[in-house]
Amino acid sequence: MAPFHDKWEEQNIVDRDVWVEAGKQGFLGMAVPEEFGGGGVKDFRYNVVITEEATKGGYSGIGFMLHNDVVAPYLVDLCNDEQKQRWLPGFASGELISAIAMTEPGTGSDIQGIKTRAVRDGDDWILNGSKTFITNGINADIVIVVACTDPDIGAQGFSLFVVERGMPGFERGRNLDKIGLNLNAPIR
């Protein structure tokens, strides 16, 4: 990461190449079963080492922590066999970048205030809503979207949906120039 960080700061985006290299070196998908190309070890200490080293080097902007710490458990524990075969090898190799979309314009991260809705349409679900401030969002190949499926039952009325790059209706906004954690404000 060190030789490329200044370039990432300039362009305000991390190159996808670093994800593939991280996958080759075993930094992604440590908890992903070996049969899918992962490390096969569910031990959070490995994730902590990645976080500590990225922080020590001041390498902001990389979303490995979200990828490994937040998204991996959903994919490993909740996906069916077909989904695991489709997503986990790329997840561990770095060829598939993941994100989670909770925060909404005007709502922030108040989950119960989420306005994105999902309604069943035969065997499919139709999602309607907007999300913002999505770590890895600009590069993501899959996004776990939090949506309200039953507003009458409070916190139990929310579900997670995996949306893949290229699905009809999925649009990516512009890469935001924002205050906060970004490539121009490394943590040292």
Residue 148 identity: C
Name the H helices within 15-174: 17-24, 44-57, 64-65, 72-78, 81-93
pLDDT tens readout for residues 128-137: 998 888 888 8
Average pLDDT, integer, range 76-84: 97
| Residue that wins the pLDDT comparison between 124 and 180 | 124
- Which of these, 117, 152, 149, lies nearest to 131 by C-alpha position? 117
The pTM for the full model equals 0.87
**In angstroms, rounded to a whole number, what is the distance separating the alpha carbons of residues 159 and 118?**
8
**In angstroms, rounded to a whole number, what is the distance separating the alpha carbons of residues 79 and 83?**
6
